[in-house]
Amino acid sequence: MTDATRTDEPDFQTLSITVTGDDRPGVTGTLLGALSGFGAEVLDIQQVVVQGHLTLTVLLRPGAKVEQLRDAAAVAAHRLGVDLRVVEGTGDNRRSRQGRAAVVVLGAPLRASAVSLVTSRIADHGANIDRIRRLSRYPVTTVEFDISGADVASLRTELALVATSEGIDIAVAPGGLARRGRRLVVLDVDSTLIQQEVIELLAAHSGREAEVAEVTARAMAGELDFEESLRARVTTLAGLPASVLDDVREAVQLTPGARTLVRTLKRLGFTVGLVSGGFIEIVGALADDLGIDHARANRLEIEDGRLTGRVVGEVVDRAGKARALREFAEQEGLPLSRTVAIGDGANDLDMLDIAGLGVAFNAKPIVQEQAQTSVNVPYLDSVLYLLGLSREEIEEADLDDGTPTQAPPVPHAGH
């Protein structure tokens, strides 16, 4: 590196030039064009546009041409009809501290009071907000804060209190390289990927749906042993013709945003898996339909074309789901830190706990209390925002592929 480009000495002169005003094409080019004839070095440049209002800042190493640069910037600003602020200083921007993290805030609506509390807690924690960007404006408003100087675990705990008091969702995840690269995303199925509980759809054919639904609710709330409750519920299916499985496959409804979530994850090169305490006869068909890489679930015993009321083999319970996530990660050559788990019931807790990012999706209270992150809006593709993707990026990818994109309905206030 030559002396002319060295920026590691702390006392070299700098010039910060900021323009603000109405955005339109050519502002950045005009300003930099006016500054280009003086041999100044660009050290940093950042621009943001909110509701058509532009803020553009250029940090320069001016050399000996400070006054000429000031005058040139003033002439360009006058020609553009924007406001100008020029500040002399020394040294480059301070290097960001260790402890990079991404704080993603989702709200429908996202009120100023909630954002105020989030930012105040970040400051009280001793962290600094380096950048802010909006990831979505519908069906929820999502804002990402890029911060430094954070202890992820303790900040996550502090912000969980804000999420509860303000009725918003907040995710805190390590930043930097930890936020990039290939991942394994594993989803629960019943009441997560799909809107129903498959065991209840099956039990409806035997006239015992209400009975089964009550037991399912208690099991998902962590009040009953999952394996014991599953075996008891499956006995209610004894004698049903195997053809009911076809009926249930037709009746299953995906959660809003499920196809968008899986389609986008696959475009990113991510691996997607399903792990369910339900039944592979349904889960396997869902995996095939969506192009999902891995699927694990219980298998129903069928004899002479009828369900026996028993399951075959080892039950996929709470521990089994976590075990499946580990095995999928090993098969893909990924550490657990590169995994994301999404679920709603108590039998998902071990899986959510060991994953690099565990997301409780419209989950039971016990799960929301223990999971790293909760999402309480009814759109499964909102999980993409937790990974740093914006709604615009998702929709642009759909347009490039010719995939029809339909805007989801804007939710009512609160959730």
Out of 23, 188, 348, 381, which one is annotated catalytic?
A: 188
Report the distance separating Cα 74 and Cα 61, nearest Å: 18
Identify the DSSP state of 18.
Answer: E
Token couple for 106: 């989702």
Instruction: Reply yes or no on whether 22 is catalytic.
Output: no
The secondary structure element, H or E, covering residue 128 is: strand 128-136
The secondary structure element, H or E, covering residue 50 is: strand 41-50
Instruction: Reply yes or no on whether 169 is catalytic.
Output: no
Q: How far is CA 47 from CA 27, 242, 404, in A?
A: 11, 61, 31
Q: How far is CA 374 from CA 331, 341, 362, 394, 402, in A?
A: 28, 12, 7, 21, 32
Report the distance separating Cα 358 and Cα 343, nearest Å: 8
- Determine the number of helices (DSSP H) and then strands (DSSP E) in the chain: 15, 15
Report the distance separating Cα 100 and Cα 152, nearest Å: 8
Report the distance separating Cα 303 and Cα 38, nearest Å: 85
Q: How far is CA 255 from CA 25, 41, 190, 261, 370, in A?
A: 40, 52, 10, 10, 23
Torsion of CA 253, 256, 258, 263, to 10 degrees: 120
Out of 23, 190, 348, 381, which one is annotated catalytic?
A: 190
The secondary structure element, H or E, covering residue 306 is: strand 306-312
Residue 55 pairs in a beta bridge with 20, 48
Hey, what amino acid is at 359?
V
CB 104 within 8 A of CB 411: no
Q: Going by C-beta distance under 8 Å and a sequence separation of 6 or more, which residues neighbour residue 381?
A: 257, 258, 260, 261, 264, 394
Describe the crossing of helices 280-290 and 258-267 by its angle, rounded to 10 degrees. Answer: 60
**Nearest CA among 121, 125, 145 for reference residue 385:** 145
Residues forming the active site: 188, 190
